[in-house]
Amino acid sequence: MSLPVEIVFGVYLGVITGIVPALVAGALGFVFKYVTDVTIPGLGVVVLSLAIAGVNGGLLALNDETIRSSERAPAILTAIVVVLMLSMYAHAQGDKLGASVPKRISLKQLRDRTLSTDVIELVGGRGRVSVEVAGEVNDMEGYPPLPADTRRAIVDGDWAFPADLPLAELESRFAERLRTELDLADVAVRIDEQARATVSAAPPTGALSKRVPAGKRAVSVSALVPTGIARGDVVRVITPDLDAEGAVIAARSSGKPEPGATAASTPAAAGDDPDPDDDARTDGGEEAVAAPPAATAPTTTGGEGRVTLALDRSEATALLRADRGRVLVLSRGTRREYELTALLRRAGKRFRKVSVVADGPLDGHTIGEAEVREAYGVAVLAARHETWTVAPDGSQSLSAGDDLFVVGSRDALDRFAEVAA
pLDDT at 267: 38
Q: Which residues contact 163 (CB under 8 A, 6 or more apart)?
A: 115, 120, 121, 126, 127, 128, 129
pLDDT at 126: 73
pLDDT at 294: 38
pLDDT at 199: 92
User: Is pTM, for the whole model, over 0.85?
Assistant: no
**Which residues on adjacent β-strands are paired with residue 218?**
310
Rounded to whole angstroms, the Cα distance separating 187 from 185 reads 7
Do strands 196-202 and 138-139 pair parallel, antiparallel, or not at all (unpaired)?
parallel
Q: Tell the burial category of 163 from Cβ atoms under 10 Å away from its Cβ (0-12, 13-18, 19+).
A: buried
pLDDT at 228: 83
pLDDT at 321: 86
Rounded to whole angstroms, the Cα distance separating 417 from 406 reads 10
CA 416 distance to own-chain centroid = 21
Q: Which residues contact 87 (CB under 8 A, 6 or more apart)?
A: 18, 21, 22, 25, 45, 46, 48, 49
Rounded to whole angstroms, the Cα distance separating 407 from 378 reads 6
Regions of the chain where pLDDT drops below 50: 110, 257-297
Query: Radius of gyration over alpha carbons of the chain, in Å?
Result: 38
Rounded to whole angstroms, the Cα distance separating 372 from 134 reads 40
